[in-house]
Structure 1
């Protein structure tokens, strides 16, 4: 659509980076010298659905074969305030590359697969080296969210053996005050993506050392995170950002990160489970195997202890157990609040027996209540 009418059309950013790293591509972004109104015009002529998703910033989403392609005109920054930028359209891919965040994200590709590398990002990508484009402080002051993006991208794409770029860390440490300008929703989204990485512990440790973690989550402590990640790996558990967030602790996490109601409830449930005295079997019975497993891993990680032998098996047993007593079984002797109290007492005895007491034994025990 673009090239046949004389315009440049270059795949850019994550789709190029991920393709080169042989990991799944989620979004398709295209950069072009065509102005957004021209993109809309060409899409209409081609019979394609064009949506002006961010046309004032140069972005049009064109849907082809049910796949959305975000097409953005080459841009250069005119003015920034740390949250948003005033941009001007450009005819040059080099201008567009210089306004991006990291060199590995400033890689472009033509339709035939030829990589266009204006800033030397390909060598950084091959080395899994995350580096800000040009001056790190300038890039951060253009958008302070790039501080969190640095740690998130390093957790997903960086080489942990090589560590982090000292210039980047120094620039981050010098600009933590700018984090206050970010919305809690943006911060929360980045934190969840970071904590969903295979092993976010080194990145979160660097956040602590640069002052970022304490700035965003006062009272948070990352000491339990690395043991938790190790325990997850040892039993083949998939990364759970909410479980990992719970390991960090800190006050008012739900508010600080604007968690969804569902995520906040899960975080509170895990926190309460860690603080409780429930046995592994009781946790499985009350919360199901997966949540019980997360609580057990959190307990072990926070106490820096190995996971108790057979704990997960006990949680699995509890999750499959079904309390054999029903209210109707006791209504001949208990009513109202007394019925609820009796059911609760019998259930506690049944759980304490590791779910072995039969219905007959429990009914017999009810005579003693």
Structure 2
């Protein structure tokens, strides 16, 4: 049952002492409050990244006050009441209190209000619905502080209503479950998610992909992924996932909390379908394909093997691939060697072939490829002079054979 009595607690506000830019904003907008993630993470004792504020003033009044104080105000989302204040290169989003007029499962039409509780009631989870005033007073309308302490991610009000307002909240639930859940998940939330997961198909591929990466960026997303599988959500948003055991092995090996590396573990070689469906950036697609095709180096691979591999692949790709090795041998020493070895670079370019007399055109590529094979066969050790000499020998043999 969602708590309906506002909890108000006043305590020293360390944000002011540690943040002169925020204090300056509060001097200009004393009625504003810090909202959302900054309050949640402050109470949880976690690092705070972005600081967002809310204000009962309309956006035009906020912009006017900022301008009079010499603070740059950028109208980043006037329809939704958002002004971005820029101080010393830092961006603070300041949004007028709102209430929803219409929702379609993706976006909302809003009206401005001066009612803090009404604004808090439209937020997704109780732990995100708290606000902090300048004097350190924390306003908690729906029991978010207790839920945070208990490690419970709970929707504000009726879970079905909250999800139908924006189906992305299903994935946001799992993102916060991965980072803040300490016990069994809220069963009302799980039941609503299971019933409404089909609404995820209405979301843009880009929004879904961003949330998948945020879930996988958590220090330990396994519990969240298992719950996603149990509710059928994983099959909807990541049908390429072959199994969560691969991700568990990755974490057991101490791999970094890298979302793309974790995606590679989950999907195996199914990169192209994923890239098309979720519209991955070209760099993301290329990295996933490289991880899937790079060689699986043995933990005790010799220097020559490593030189060969580094000649064809960046060290970063080989290190990525080592985390997904087929066997469980410890590859920490291998990764250290790859990180410090100098990458062999084939010393010839097209201009070297032209200077020696190769006619421009396909013959250049064919000649350089032949010499590169020779260079690789000699463990990538021959220098430029030796490679040019081999190129001359290759061309002479071609002439002698009449090719």
Shorter-chain TM-score tier: 0.7 to 0.9
Q: CA deviation at 1:8?
A: 3.1
Q: Which residue of 2 aligns with 1:240?
A: 258
SS in 2 for 1:227: helix
CA distance in 2, matches of 1:113, 1:95: 21
Alignment of 1:3-42 (within 5 A): 8-42=31-65
CA distance in 2, matches of 1:326, 1:38: 65
Q: Which residue of 1 aligns with 2:289?
A: 268
Q: CA deviation at 1:156?
A: 2.5
CA distance in 2, matches of 1:361, 1:67: 55
Q: Which residue of 1 aligns with 2:400?
A: none
Q: CA deviation at 1:214?
A: 1.5
SS in 1 for 2:294: helix
Identify the range of structure 1 (129-138 vs 267-276) with the bigger mean alpha-carbon deviation.
Answer: 267-276
Contact 1:280 1:292 in 2 (8 A): no
Q: Which residue of 2 aligns with 1:200?
A: 221
1:77 to 95, 100, 110: 100
Q: Which residue of 2 aligns with 1:151?
A: 174
Contact 1:173 1:210 in 2 (8 A): yes
The answer to whether 1:288 aligns with 2:288 is no
Q: CA deviation at 1:98?
A: 0.9
Q: Which residue of 2 aligns with 1:315?
A: 338
Contact 1:9 1:110 in 2 (8 A): yes
The Cα RMSD (Å) is 3.5
Q: Which residue of 2 aligns with 1:170?
A: 191
Q: How many residues align?
A: 356
Per-residue Cα deviation, 1:162-181 (whole angstroms, up to 9, x for no partner): 24222222211111111111
Identify the range of structure 1 (143-152 vs 242-251) with the bigger mean alpha-carbon deviation.
Answer: 242-251
Per-residue Cα deviation, 1:24-49 (whole angstroms, up to 9, x for no partner): 22222111211222212322333322
Contact 1:285 1:315 in 2 (8 A): no
Contact 1:10 1:109 in 2 (8 A): yes
The answer to whether 1:105 aligns with 2:119 is no
SS in 1 for 2:84: strand
SS in 2 for 1:76: strand
Q: Which residue of 2 aligns with 1:348?
A: 376
1:50 to 60, 66, 73: 73
Change (3 A) 1:361 1:89: closer
Per-residue Cα deviation, 1:279-299 (whole angstroms, up to 9, x for no partner): 65543443232221111112x
Q: CA deviation at 1:257?
A: 2.3
TM-score norm. by structure 1 comes to: 0.83
SS in 2 for 1:25: coil
Per-residue Cα deviation, 1:198-231 (whole angstroms, up to 9, x for no partner): 2222222222222112112223223311111222
Contact 2:31 2:55 in 1 (8 A): yes
Per-residue Cα deviation, 1:296-332 (whole angstroms, up to 9, x for no partner): 112x2xx463445854355347x42435764769x98
Q: Which residue of 2 aligns with 1:180?
A: 201
Change (3 A) 1:358 1:208: same
Change (3 A) 1:350 1:149: farther
Structure 2 stretches lacking a partner, 5+ long: 1-23, 398-403
CA distance in 1, matches of 2:238, 2:334: 31
Q: Which residue of 1 aligns with 2:248?
A: 226
Change (3 A) 1:244 1:281: farther
Contact 1:284 1:314 in 2 (8 A): no
Q: CA deviation at 1:4?
A: 7.5
1:297 to 323, 347, 354: 323
SS in 2 for 1:175: helix
TM-score norm. by structure 2 comes to: 0.77
Contact 1:79 1:87 in 2 (8 A): yes
Change (3 A) 1:78 1:274: farther
Identify the range of structure 1 (185-194 vs 248-257) with the bigger mean alpha-carbon deviation.
Answer: 248-257
Structure 1 stretches lacking a partner, 5+ long: none
